[in-house]
Amino acid sequence: MEVANIRDVPIPASRVGLGTWAMGGYQWGGADDDMSVRTIHAALDLGINLIDTAPAYGFGHSEEVVGRAVAERGQRDRVVLATKVGLERRGDALFRNGTRRQIFEEIELSLRRLRTDYIDLYQVHWPDPQTPYEETAKALLELQREGKIRAIGVSNYSIDAMLRFRAVAPIASAQPPLNLFERQAEGDILPWCHDNGVATLTYGALCRGLLSGAIDEKTAFQGDDLRKTDPKFQPPRFAQYLEAVRRLERFARDRYARSVLALAVRWVLDQRGVSVALWGARRPDELAPIGDVMGWHLDDEARAHIDAVLAETVRDPVGPEFMAPPERREAMAPAA
């Protein structure tokens, strides 16, 4: 397994990390906890040692599942536990809240759910424009000095926000969305992080399953699955993205004898500035292709072909903006 170093985290992190949003159940049509635990154990068996979660994932349920899985497995010191802070729950709604009070309340809940006395990487889930970034940074710096967290990260932050934040506290990592269909971070966040020694954990490598190759026109999303409102999964865009996936699948098979899933994750890992690509899974078999991702790279010709396919098929692209949670006075939206 390829590895990456994250400042203040004492062990190298696997370059593929396990994303556990769907294990929370909420917004994903439910989850099977026993299956989720087996999936985490399978990831560890495969050499994936970075597990990324958040209180927002199932209102703490994902953290509880991760805590259970790591406790049952043991060897806590060999796992990089990454979680987040800064989303306040009000009923079934989530709002951005980066205040010191919110952070100090959340850390105790996360430690209890994760069954640990420290968190390897503690990330601000979304910037809170109503709270000075300096206040948020100072609170995390206090927690780091107390030993409750080892490294400080941010997620979904702009460069300007990171500059203000790191004037108070060191930033070990940033977590922007990045996949073949959502590439905004290529132009700004990734180069800045690379040039400033900030590791990146990019999320959404499979674009909510769209790049897994397992979704087609007949796929039905059940219950509260957020893909029922994701604009990529609605007509007319859905057909465009599916055509792109089909063409990329043919290319991956012909050129590399691999799947579109392997191509998609390899593309993320090969981007300059990417430290870790987060891969979401809920069943052990969904991790089976990990071996097809490692040990090879895309060349310039392949990258150019991928760009051409996307330009020809996705005529009405849309980003991941729909996932951004609201500020405290606004209506709720899903949390990524």
Residues with a known catalytic role: 57
Using the 8-state DSSP alphabet, how is residue 22 labeled?
G
Q: Which residues contact residue 4 at a Cβ distance below 8 angstroms, ignoring those fewer than 6 apart?
A: 12, 13, 14, 15, 199, 275, 276
Q: Are 116 and 67 in contact (CB under 8 A)?
A: yes
Q: Are 156 and 125 in contact (CB under 8 A)?
A: yes
Distance CA 141, CA 165 (A): 11
Residue 103 C-alpha from the chain's centroid: 20
Query: Which 3-state string (H, E, C) describes 82-144?
Result: EEEECEEEECCEEEECCCHHHHHHHHHHHHHHHCCCCEEEEEECCCCCCCCHHHHHHHHHHHH
Q: Are 144 and 176 in contact (CB under 8 A)?
A: no
The amino acid sitting at 287 is: L
Q: Are 141 and 271 in contact (CB under 8 A)?
A: no
Cα–Cα distances (Å) from 104 to 20, 157, 201, 267, 304, in that order, read 23, 21, 24, 38, 47
